[in-house]
Amino acid sequence: MAFITFIYTIGNNKKYYGKFVTNSISNYLELESKQNLKSAISVFRTQNGHSILNKPIRLGVLSYSYSDFIPHNEDEIHCFDFYCIKQLYDKKTYMNGKLLFSS
């Protein structure tokens, strides 16, 4: 599994932390993380009755890693503002420790 841990801001507001876990490493892992993050924020805002996000999202990578060990568990998921696990045909996205959607 490939892991990317990142920090992101929306506009000039406070900083948030995210983690994207996927079963493959690619040159586009940072872009894929940002696309998944934007999608999750849109769903989250819609579900909570907020308007569509018009502010830019800035994403800064803290670390990349690769391991056969898959460390995601409830404690780790609750540590991040955004957490996405993408495996073959299964994708789970969490915001603030709660499952936002699964596909």
Where exactly are the structural domains of the chain? Answer: 2-102
Q: What region, left, alpha or beta, does residue 49 occupy, with left being phi > 0 and alpha being psi -120 to 50 degrees? A: left
Spatial separation of the C-alpha atoms in residues 23 and 1, rounded to whole Å: 4
**Reported confidence tier of residue 72, pLDDT bands at 50, 70, 90:** low
pLDDT in tens, 37-66: 888 988 888 888 888 888 888 888 888 887
Residue 12 has pLDDT above 90, yes or no: no
Q: Which of 29-33, 59-63, 98-102 has the lowest mean pLDDT?
A: 29-33
> Running DSSP on this structure, what letter comes out for residue 88?
T
Predicted local confidence at residue 70, as pLDDT? 66
**What proportion of the chain, given as a percentage, has pLDDT over 90?**
17
